[in-house]
Amino acid sequence: MGYYDEIAKGYNELHGDEQLKKLRIIAEKLKVKKTDKLLDVGCGTGLSAKVFDCDITGIDPSEELLKQCPFKTVKACAESLPFLDNSFDIVIAVTSIHNFKDIEKGLKEIKRVGKHKFAFSVLKKSNKLELIKEIMSTCFSIDCAMNSDADLIYLYY
């Protein structure tokens, strides 16, 4: 995660507006309640706290990004989530799946720790886009797919 540690200080300036736009779309569609427990996989600097008013936990392998998070975090990778089965009402992964070392393992872990609501955004220009879509379709039943500038957003609820 050297790249993200290197750009951590300027991450929000570089990607903040774009990420917040996707988070707002997801929040509007998922109807998050204050009592919900949400896991943000690849949480970065914790921008999800600006959009979701609930109990947020974030994971990210970049220590420098995690230092900026306003909610509880764990330095971890999606492929090995340190949580019990069905721990979270909602699990989101916003523009992070293409960074997973093992996409299938990461998505299966997300499904394992989540209960019933999932949201993902995937970079349209990712050379792993078709693979990600294929693996997502084997792990989840899509309820809603949307375009958002540079990403595709998938919701399962």
The CATH number linked to 26 is 3.40.50.150
Residue 72 belongs to domain spanning: 2-156
Task: Work out how many domains the chain is built from and give that number.
Answer: 1
pLDDT by residue for the chain (157 residues), tens digit each?
588 888 778 887 877 899 999 999 999 999 999 999 999 999 999 999 999 999 999 999 999 999 999 999 999 999 999 999 999 999 999 999 999 999 999 999 999 999 989 999 999 999 999 999 999 999 999 899 999 989 999 999 8
**Residue 70 and residue 45 in contact, taking contact as beta carbons nearer than 8 Å:** no
| Predicted pLDDT of residue 1 | 54
Q: Which residues pair with 148 in a beta bridge?
A: 151
Assign residue 44 a region: left if phi > 0, alpha if psi is -120 to 50, beta otherwise?
Answer: left
Distance CA 77, CA 63 (A): 12
| Cβ(95)–Cβ(47) below 8 Å | no
Find the helix packing angle between 129-139 and 103-113, rounded to 10°: 30
Strand order, beta sheet including 37-41:
72-75, 55-60, 37-41, 88-94, 114-123, 151-156, 144-148
